[in-house]
Structure 1
Amino acid sequence: MTDVKTKDAKDIWARDFDYISVKRDGHILEITIDRADRYNALHGGAHQELHDIFDGYEQDPDLWVAIITGAGDKAFCSGNDLKATSEGQDIEPASSGFGGLTDRWGREKPVIAAVNGVAMGGGCEIVLASDIAVADAHAKFALPEVKVGLFAAAGGVQRLTRQIGRKAAMELILTGRAITADRACELGIINRVASEGETAMDIAREIAKEITMVSPTAVRASKRVLNALEEDIERLPEAFAGNTAEFDVVLKSNDGKEGVKAFVEKRAPNWTNS
């Protein structure tokens, strides 16, 4: 008898997605955010497709490792689609968080981020939520939400602080400053930077292939142990719950509205501290 979850996982790969492309290569799943004209920014529809794809990945026993990247060579993911926001479109992520990944607790299968360009806001938070991250030399990383009156509410504040330390994280979080791929590697945000003649996807595929050559059972066990070793791991969902309330406050504030409006109108925001 076919397991229902396994059957559903198989069925999803027959779907035609509007905003995301997927490719299976043996035990490897390649996921590409396919909105290059919007710098691979995400809105409600794209979030839902990524949610469904990561659900399928987790449930499919034939898939052992996933790679996520962006279409083109300019952007991995530039975060929320603020133009869609200004037009009143739905940009809300699914229950699994930004890009279907940032609130997906207890993942037992590895996700590799191949950063092929700018990773801003939620895009950077996808990188922080991945297990392994590699980048092209021209990639940039930032949590610039404060520049538009918002804050990194998809785990960026927590994960960045845990991964690189409080003071280094605070400098990036409070200024919204962008950093280079080399600096991101120095800080520990990513594992490697592509050398001349190779790409982030080349490296990601190489690592993914290595992972498929070892025991998938041992990989999942290692992931479970590493997750359990994370300090206060059980309290992280509670910490993230506070993000929703705080994000709602800033989104409804005058500064929050002004920041998004100024971004769309391509002008400097006029902050009123209200």
Structure 2
Amino acid sequence: MNERVEGFVSMTVDDFVATITLDRPSKLNAMTPSMAAEIVEHMKRCNEDDAIRAVVLTGASTKSFCAGSDIGTLDDYRTPWEFRNRPDYCDAVRALLKPSIAAINGYAFGGGLETSLSCDIRIASANARFAAPEIKLGWIGGGGMAAFLAHSIGPSNAALMLMTGDPIDADKALAWGLVSEIVESAEQVTARAQEIARTIAQRAPIAAETAKSNLRAAFNMPQEDAIRYERDLQTICFATDDAREGREAFREKRQPRFRRR
């Protein structure tokens, strides 16, 4: 199934995996307000559709995942308050209940970096570059840049990126823990992300979604609270039909058939 809303964002669904593609390669997939609105709608659809169990987010280019906001559209906001309350694509990605993977094929700058950081897993091509360049233009990121960088790469490395605005390459991103894997070519990175997504989609969907919630809690709660929360989530998962199916499949030495129930 292939859906294209008027604009520059497309979505396909195959084998329980949704692939959402930023499709404005002539502008390095720079984000416009209409593209942000499309992403918000696609993320809502992914949350509501049981036929979607994992989501891949990528860019239609061998040069760029997303170069951030289209600077030319920022002056279209009539007031700073309107800018503050705009529909935010990073918020939409973070609100996704299903596991998400960023397939980073080239530049991930500004809002593009924030979008990738809002995903659960990041796979990069060898030509990928990462930057928080807003400081060079007189502002800072607003989609979770500092919080996610500090968690991902540590406060000193985060400060280096945030305060210089200079890019790092894929090898440094891997060494710092910003990405999980490097794939040699930009053409291969989406395929690798989809491979991981299909693997996740084969697991019990409620357990996968709960694992995502659990991981987020681990970052945000005191340790003992996080462990208690994990135990509660485990109990909820254990009571599902899918967990019973998993135990039966184990006893019968067959592959489980999970139904998100």
Q: Output one character per residue of 1:236-271: Cα deviation in whole Å (capped at 9) or x when no partner.
A: xxxxxxxxxxxxxxxxxxxxxxxxxxxxxxxxxxxx
Query: Matched residue of 1:230: which SS?
Result: helix
Please state how far the C-alpha of 1:93 moved relative to its aligned partner: 8.6
SS in 2 for 1:62: coil
Could you say which residue in structure 1 is the equivalent of 2:156? Answer: 167
C-alpha deviation, 1:203, in angstroms: 1.1
Matching residue within 4, 8, 15 for 1:26: 15
Taking the aligned partners of 2:25 and 2:77, their CA distance within structure 1 comes to 19
Consecutive unaligned residues of structure 1, counting only runs of 5 or more, are 1-9, 234-274
1:221 counterpart (207, 210, 217): 210
Unaligned runs of 5+ in 2: 223-261
Are 1:101 and 2:76 an aligned pair?
no
- The corresponding residue for 1:200 is 189
Cα shift at 1:14? 5.9
Q: Tell me the TM-score normalised to structure 2 length.
A: 0.77
Equivalent of residue 45 in structure 2, options 24, 49, 56: 56
Equivalent in the alignment of 1:84: 73
Q: Is the 8 A contact 2:146 2:162 kept in 1?
A: yes
Residues 1:114 and 2:85 aligned together: no
Distance in 1 of aligned mates of 2:33 and 2:163: 27
Alignment of 1:194-273 (within 5 A): 194-195=183-184, 199-232=188-221
1:138 aligns with 2:131: no
| Whole-angstrom CA distance in 1 between matches of 2:41 and 2:62 | 25
For 2:89, give the aligned amino acid.
Answer: F
Question: Cα offset for 1:25?
Answer: 0.7
Identity %: 31
* Matched pairs, number: 219
Q: Separation in 2 of the partners of 1:171 and 1:59? A: 39
2:69 matched to 1:72?
A: no
